[in-house]
């Protein structure tokens, strides 16, 4: 697998492309009394122009409680069919920005929040990435299998995809 690290806008574009392609990822937060992270699948609402990733959760959830005590989170996105994967480590913050809640609200949310978008338990989670790493293939599954077999025979793994760090900050 070839390495291609990306910086600034190129890194942000890659992050956004992968998250928009996969949508549901696992967000892992850290509980006070637990040795292991608490992971739950969540659908992202958006990756904003600054690269922050937004989710909606309940103030009654374990994820919310964990973030209140420790803002560190890890996100994992996987699309095995297309051999695309992303891991993100960052810090999370919680808010109740009603304008953003209104913008993100959709019919599916009603299953989680019976009182609608004014439900007092709705919270926004904003994850600001600190570091990210991706694994990606620009081919379909059959081409990937062929390229993996070819790499096994030839020892050249350049054709089986790319991986690299996504350096999102200007100082990265």
To the nearest 10°, the Cα dihedral for 60, 132, 52, 136?
-100
Q: What is the pLDDT of residue 153?
A: 60
Domain ranges, ordered by start, for the chain: 2-167
Please state which architecture CATH assigns to domain 2-167: Roll (2.30)
pLDDT digits (tens, 9 = 90+) for 1-42: 577 899 999 999 999 999 999 999 999 999 998 899 999 999
Residue among 111, 109, 120, 12 nearest 59 (CA): 120
Structure letter (DSSP) for residue 103: H
Sign of CA dihedral 32, 35, 40, 46: positive
Local confidence pLDDT in tens for the 172 residues of the chain: 577 899 999 999 999 999 999 999 999 999 998 899 999 999 999 999 999 999 999 999 999 999 999 999 999 999 988 889 999 999 999 999 999 999 999 988 988 998 999 999 999 999 999 999 999 986 555 554 554 455 556 555 555 578 899 998 643 4
Residue among 159, 164, 162, 163 nearest 145 (CA): 159
Q: Which residues of 88-110 are buried (b: 16+ CB within 10 A; e: fewer)?
A: bebebeeeeeeebbeebbeeebe
């Amino acid at each position: 697998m070839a390495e291609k690290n990306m910086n600034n806008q190129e890194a942000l574009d890659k992050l956004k492309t992968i998250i928009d392609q996969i949508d549901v990822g696992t967000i892992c937060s850290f509980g006070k009394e637990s040795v292991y992270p608490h992971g739950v699948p969540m659908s992202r609402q958006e990756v904003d122009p600054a690269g922050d990733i937004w989710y909606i959760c309940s103030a009654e959830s374990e994820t919310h409680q964990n973030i209140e005590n420790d803002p560190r989170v890890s996100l994992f996105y996987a699309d095995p069919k297309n051999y695309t994967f992303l891991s993100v480590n960052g810090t999370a913050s919680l808010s109740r920005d009603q304008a953003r809640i209104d913008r993100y609200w959709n019919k599916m949310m009603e299953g989680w929040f019976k009182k609608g978008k004014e439900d007092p338990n709705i919270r926004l989670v904003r994850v600001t990435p600190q570091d990210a790493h991706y694994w990606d293939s620009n081919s379909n599954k059959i081409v990937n299998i062929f390229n993996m077999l070819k790499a096994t025979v030839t020892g050249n793994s350049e054709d089986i995809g790319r991986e690299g760090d996504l350096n999102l900050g200007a100082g990265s």
